[in-house]
Chains A and B, each alone.
Chain A
Amino acid sequence: MMHLIPVFFVFIPIIASLIVYLFKSKLSTYVIILAQLLLAILYGIYLIDFSETMSMPLVIFGGWNELFAISFYNDTLSLTFVGLAIFMWTMLIFYTFKTNQDEHKFLFFFMFLEGVFLGLLQTNDLFNLFVFLEVMTVLITILIAYRKSGPSFRAGIYYLLLNTIGAMFFLIGIIMIYYVYGTINIQFLIQNMDLHQQEGLIKLAYIMMLSGISIKAAFFPLFTWLPMAHGVAQTSISGLLSGLVVKGALYMFIRVNLQMFSQTDYNTHEIFFYIGVLTALVGVTFALTQKDLKQILAYHTVSQIGIMMMGLSSVANLSYIGGFFHILNHALFKTLLFLCAGVIIHAYHTKKVYEIRGVFKTMPWISILLIIGMLSISGAPLFNGFVSKTLIKYDFKNDPFKMIIFTLINIGTVTSFIKFSQILFGHKVQIEKNKDTLQIVSMSIIGILCVVIGLFYIPIGSFIFGTDLSYVTFKDPRQWIDYIIYVMAGLLLYRHVIMRDYVPLQIIRESRLTFEHANYVFILYMVVLSLFIFMR
């Protein structure tokens, strides 16, 4: 029984979702909370077992040969993601439970997505990775379009078609891998990647798979679906997509690029580092021009993905851990920001950042949580964003060019959140009182966790990564001076450029990539990647 726990991770949420959908009564919705409790307990048991004996990480279905059977495999990487996913889903269910308790279809898709996502994280088989990816795409499309408004439908179809194309190219890559090795078992491939004769086909497979993942993970030229989809969905869905589901693609990036193809000598670290830089810079630039609360946050997801890429693609181990740590931290603070923004939008009935004023006097506790989120994302000392950003900087502390780029990204982030924080000032406004305590509790837990990770990162780092993170210290006055300089520069930039709303800013805000151009860009991206890999 014990070794089947990874299977339960997938099936408990799916069975709970089916119960909700079939019985359609108020009582049956509490099954979801029961399922989350069960998942948390099972996860605890599995984690203790895993850390004590390090045994049975592999579950094979049907008793077939290990090379051909469908199997689940868990290591520290996937277990960290699984824990994060269970935690975030629990919090989001608390957040959305009261508002959506009668929406049985919504809860069905929401819980089904959890099962599929946990399957994606644990599978040990490239084709199943593709299947989970596609099922996830379908479910997310339905959840995006769930509001049944025009923008949500168009965001849904844009998301669906673009991500399906990405997944199809991923599949073509898998086919080539199968043709060369005769197996699609990930662990086998990680160990035996250099046992082949057909260098050209493997290179082609690498390009296809990586460009598929790049669409899913919203790297630089291919991120256009993300702000569209994350901006129009319901608040809990936006938080889920930005905080967690995008990280599913980054998980695939780690598995495929950094583990499976680690023995190959394509040296793509550098190109993915610069793709990360471009993603971060472009994301910040777009975020600076937006006027819509949710669009600002969605573009910041793009830029933070770029920062994670910069960490993950660095050669130094500490930077890699920084990138990985930033994935976890970003899940916390971005979800917190989205949830706070959702409460504010619900109370003020508008999404315009220049129309909302006086949030601090109207909703003090929400504002404190919002400030925690903003300080975390901009990397203030004592908060969790600071820890991971400092770790990412480790690799290029001696490289002035990379340092300047990182500083620019940071100043952009700070400026954008100075603009965002303008909603806090102003006089009290008469609004409807929020009576949903469960909502506040879930947001508070996430907010407190942000601060706790920012303060006690050393024990957490040695627990998750087994590494000493004492390189980071918030007692160093230079870090504080740096942050204060960022804020000063941000204030200047905000006063003199962003607030004036010059014509170039308006052009950036209005620009939108149509679908056929997004495909052109995708083809170009693949061509550039192939040139880089074949021509060196």
Chain B
Amino acid sequence: MNPILSFIVILVGVYGLATSKNIIKSVFCVTIIEAGTILLFLNFGAFEGGAIPILGAIGVDIVDPLPQALMITTIVIGSTITSLALMLCIKIFHHYGSIEWKEVLKGGDES
């Protein structure tokens, strides 16, 4: 797979971030950037016909195991961040009655 493809995914996420006016859309744009990043890294370690890097795969060409190990960590972190952000979205909706950035960022810091 071409690394250009993952860059396109990342750029879609960046474009979404710069244009979406809704908090939930922003959260998902962050998720899209993250998906693009994961694709990019897996791509760098992999090649066509490579075997899965697990024990027992001796004698065959295995793909680089490090990117896969690192990306599992990234996926875990990403899911944490998405869930935390969505929880905050619910709380913001309860307090402001809206999840548009413009409505939410209006007004001072007095609660």
Contact = CB atoms under 8 A, between A and B. Distances in A.
A319 B27 CA distance: 41
B77 A135 contact: yes
Contacts of B70: 127
Nearest to B23: A157
Contacts of A150: 92, 95-96, 111
Interface in B1-60: 10, 14, 17-21, 23, 26-27, 30, 33-34, 37, 40-41, 44
Contact of A178 (B33, B67, B101): B67
A519 B74 contact: no
A339 B85 CA distance: 29
A179 B70 CA distance: 14
A89 B77 CA distance: 25
Interface in A340-365: 351
Contact of A149 (B17, B20, B111): B111
Contacts of A519: 14, 17-18
Contacts of B108: 151, 292
Interface string A142-174: 100101111111101110110011001001100
Interface string A310-329: 00000000000000000000
Nearest to A183: B66
A148 B94 CA distance: 11
Nearest to B99: A157
A158 to B, nearest CB: 8
A161 B19 contact: no
Contacts of A480: none
A153 B23 CA distance: 12
Interface string A221-232: 000000000011
Interface stretch (A112-120, A391-399, A470-478, A510-518): A510-518
A153 B30 contact: no
A401 interface: no
Contacts of B26: 161, 515-516
Contact of B109 (A68, A138, A145, A292): A292
Contact of A142 (B44, B74, B84): B84
Interface residues of A, number: 43
A523 interface: yes
Interface string B58-78: 000000001100100110010
Secondary structure class of chain A's binding surface, majority of residues: helix
B84 A141 contact: yes
Given A232-B109, A516-B101, A179 B84 contact: no
A18 interface: no
A534 interface: no
B92 A153 contact: yes
A131 B41 contact: no
Contact of A157 (B10, B33, B73, B89): B89
A154 B85 CA distance: 10
B24 to A, nearest CB: 10
Contact of B105 (A135, A149, A512, A523): A512
B102 A514 contact: yes
Contacts of B41: 171, 175, 178
A158 B105 CA distance: 10
Contact of B30 (A142, A158, A165, A520): A165
Nearest to A510: B108
B96 to A, nearest CB: 6
Query: Which residue, of A178, A232, A295, has the highest number of chain B Cβ atoms within 10 A?
Result: A178
Contacts of A523: 14, 18
Given A232-B109, A292-B109, A154 B104 contact: yes
B33 A138 contact: no
A147 B20 CA distance: 28
Nearest to B66: A68
Given A145-B88, A153-B95, A171-B74, A516 B40 contact: no
Contacts of A142: 84
Nearest to B20: A516
A179 B95 CA distance: 46
B88 A168 contact: no
A153 B91 contact: yes
Nearest to A294: B109
Contact of B18 (A154, A160, A171, A516): A516
Nearest to A231: B109
B30 A168 contact: yes
A157 B85 contact: yes
Given A134-B81, A145-B88, A178-B44, A515 B109 contact: no
B37 A134 contact: no
17 contacts: A127-B70, A149-B95, A151-B109, A151-B111, A153-B95, A154-B92, A154-B105, A157-B23, A160-B81, A160-B84, A160-B85, A171-B37, A172-B10, A178-B67, A292-B109, A514-B105, A515-B26
Top 4 closest A-B pairs, CB basis? A149-B111, A150-B95, A519-B17, A157-B88
